[in-house]
Amino acid sequence: MPEPVVKNAGDPAQVKRARRLENRREAFASGMLHAVLDTVAGRAFVWDLISRAGVFASPFRLTDEIYYLVGRADFGRELLARCVESDNELYILMEREARERAAREQAETDAAHTARAEQGAD
């Protein structure tokens, strides 16, 4: 865990410095995310993280696993929100590319199953 940047919250100079540092860190993180979203591979990677976090699935389970899944999905929603904040157009592009990839994969699966079924009918 990083050291606190404010040792005395009553010191306006420390608070001001901490605020500037936090703004610089946030700008740096936002720039990194934008750089990742600016590439096809980066968008695919981030979409995979969001999907694997379970953002689009129900976390409901009859076991304690629900707590883990809810936490994981919360992280995924935070990542999704940061993507939208970073560049909404790149987020929309990322989502469209993911849907197109999923449709291609489904078409390939369907074609393989159809071909196998036709071979079995001979």
Q: Are 29 and 78 in contact (CB under 8 A)?
A: no
The predicted-structure confidence for 38-97, as pLDDT tens digits, reads as follows 999 999 999 999 999 999 988 888 888 999 999 999 999 999 999 999 999 999 999 999
Domain boundaries, the chain: 12-112
Tell me the per-residue pLDDT of 99-108, one tens digit each, with 9 for 90 and over: 999 999 999 9
CA distances from 53 to 77, 85, 87, 118 (A): 8, 19, 21, 38
- Give the predicted TM-score (pTM) of the model: 0.74
Rounded Cα distance between 85 and 114, Å, is 43
What does the DSSP assignment read for 12-39?
HHHHHHHHHHHHHHHHHHHHHHHHHHTS
CB 47 within 8 A of CB 102: no
Tens of pLDDT, residues 5-37: 888 889 899 999 999 999 999 999 999 999 999
